[in-house]
Structure 1
Amino acid sequence: MSAQATAPFDKIADRYDRSRGGEERGEQFAGVMDELLGDGPLLELGVGTALVGGALARRGRDVCGVDVSAGMLGYARDRLPGRIALADVCRLPFKDASFAGCYAVWMLHLASDVPTALAAVRRVLRPGGRLVVVPANNRPREDAIGQLVYAMQVRLLGERSDKGGAGELLRLAEKCGFTQTDRRDLPQTYQHAPAAMAREIERRNFSSLQDVGETEWREIVQPTIDALRALPEAEVPRDRTTVHEAIVLEPAP
């Protein structure tokens, strides 16, 4: 991804927090990052609205963030004043060995070239520094909403359905000289109505939907929306649990 006048996430910046767990999720993920990353300045790759970065700053951590979406950074500015930059993760605008730790939540797969982004991270990490990545979660889920959405994603992405997942991340990280040193589960429990998910899909709130064409939308996406609305009590929120992973990577000697 490169910095440009309009980035895909500009279109959903005003509703991103509501659709991604809000402040509660930010605090939860920040707690894990605080534990896994050592003392010293931190860099968030794809800081977005700074839900996580802002929560870390409230814990007293020194956090900077970069993103290519000016729209998302408009919200991040209030949470990390003076600590954000419109920049590409493949071309980080920092000196070598600037950070004790870097982290990325649900975004590394969106880089235009993940190996180049990983090389940029290696450059800005201090000796002994860590990179913590929460990959995109493309695993099947047991609840009815999750099953329908997962089936849609697999049909849309085909062989790319592992894109952004832990398996792909670890393969690329190893090639780029990183070694996995830790791994933590991040269970996220929340309530979500089937009809609310249908509306999120209609608004293309997920990166995999940004460029879906008319034919795929008619044959794959619209039937998923219809099936979600056909579930019993579609407007009533139901309990859901998603298990994310925090993968700790360190540059190999």
Structure 2
Amino acid sequence: MLDYDVEAARYDATRGGVPRASSAARAVLALVPDRARTLLDVGCGTGLVSERLTRPGLRVFGVDASEAMARVAARRLESLIVLGNCHRLPFADASLDAVSAVWLLHLLPDAPAVVAECARVLKPGGVFVTTVDKDLSHDMNSDVDELLAPFRVHRAYDAAPRVLAVASEHGLRRAGEARFTGHGQGMTPSRAATEVARGYFASALTLDEEQSATLVRRLSLLPDADIPRADPVYRLLALRKEG
């Protein structure tokens, strides 16, 4: 996994920036009931998405385990940003109307425990909104993805069936879904080759030194080296707490 304290300074610029964050925020808000007055963005990172979760009467909080990420988020948001662990959220039982987790569960081997924790802090009737199946958004999306696909680590921590099963155990029932475009995430062959060479995909690809060199060479031979490929489309699930 990346060191997010190190990545904080360059994170937004390498993740599609404002267009990607705005797309995610719109999709999240479309799944959050109008009656919601509080929303916690878990794994808020730099707060670029959290900052855009704006709606009259809705107060947004953020929590992140990276001190550097939380520091950037705190500069962006007037609402409360907490340095904390998603496995032990610093909020009381049944205290929030909505919880979001965008691009988080796919990183966590113990994602079920985080789903349970998000359910704990939700009020009855509250909604948990989370991205699922993130890896599938990138598979076979372009000629670049086709070359990367054989080396991808498919942990499927955020597989939709798994998330739904765990959610059901904690009183969460499917309430809707949405999709949004990951603007700026369509790789150019040249960028992909550079990132593979510098080991940037270490948490997503399994490569030895020889395979890395071969992959860099094959990426470098693709046509239109500096033209971005199609952006991925991400999937969101909304899960409502019973009671």
TM-score tier after normalising by the smaller chain length: 0.7 to 0.9
CA distance in 2, matches of 1:120, 1:20: 27
CA distance in 1, matches of 2:161, 2:217: 32
1:79-228 pair list within 5 angstroms:
79-81=76-78, 83-111=80-108, 113-139=110-136, 140-153=139-152, 157=153, 160-190=154-184, 192-206=187-201, 208-209=203-204, 216-228=207-219
Where 1:186 maps in the other structure, the secondary structure is: strand
Q: Structure 1 18/99 Cα, relative in aligned 2: closer, same or farther at 3 Å?
A: same
1:14-33 pair list within 5 angstroms:
14-33=9-28
RMSD over equivalenced CA pairs, Å: 2.6
The one-letter code sitting in structure 2 at the alignment partner of 1:141 is M
1:248 pairs with 2:238 = yes
CA distance in 1, matches of 2:75, 2:227: 30
- Are the equivalent residues in 1 in contact too, given 2:39–2:98 (CA < 8 A)? yes
Deviations 1:58-99 (A, max 9, x none): 876311111111122222122124511111111011112221
1:56 pairs with 2:53 = yes
Q: Which runs of 4+ in 1 moved over 6 A?
A: none
1:41 pairs with 2:31 = no
Greater percentage in helix: 1
TM-score, with length taken from structure 2: 0.85
Unpaired segments of 5 or more residues in structure 1? 2-6
CA distance in 1, matches of 2:242, 2:10: 39
Which segment drifts farther, 43-52 or 176-185?
A: 176-185
1:238 aligns with: 228
Where 1:180 maps in the other structure, the secondary structure is: strand
- Are the equivalent residues in 2 in contact too, given 1:40–1:62 (CA < 8 A)? yes
1:10 aligns with: 5
Where 1:240 maps in the other structure, the secondary structure is: coil
The one-letter code sitting in structure 2 at the alignment partner of 1:244 is Y
By how many angstroms is 1:45 displaced? 0.9
Q: Structure 1 12/198 Cα, relative in aligned 2: closer, same or farther at 3 Å?
A: farther
TM-score, with length taken from structure 1: 0.82
- Are the equivalent residues in 1 in contact too, given 2:25–2:52 (CA < 8 A)? yes
* Structure with bigger RCO (C-alpha 8 Å, 6+ apart): 2
* Percent of residue pairs identical: 31
By how many angstroms is 1:25 displaced? 1.0
Where 1:184 maps in the other structure, the secondary structure is: strand
By how many angstroms is 1:165 displaced? 3.0
Where 1:95 maps in the other structure, the secondary structure is: coil
- Are the equivalent residues in 2 in contact too, given 1:188–1:243 (CA < 8 A)? yes
Aligned length: 238
CA distance in 2, matches of 1:207, 1:62: 37
By how many angstroms is 1:206 displaced? 4.8
Q: Structure 1 204/10 Cα, relative in aligned 2: closer, same or farther at 3 Å?
A: farther
Where 1:162 maps in the other structure, the secondary structure is: coil
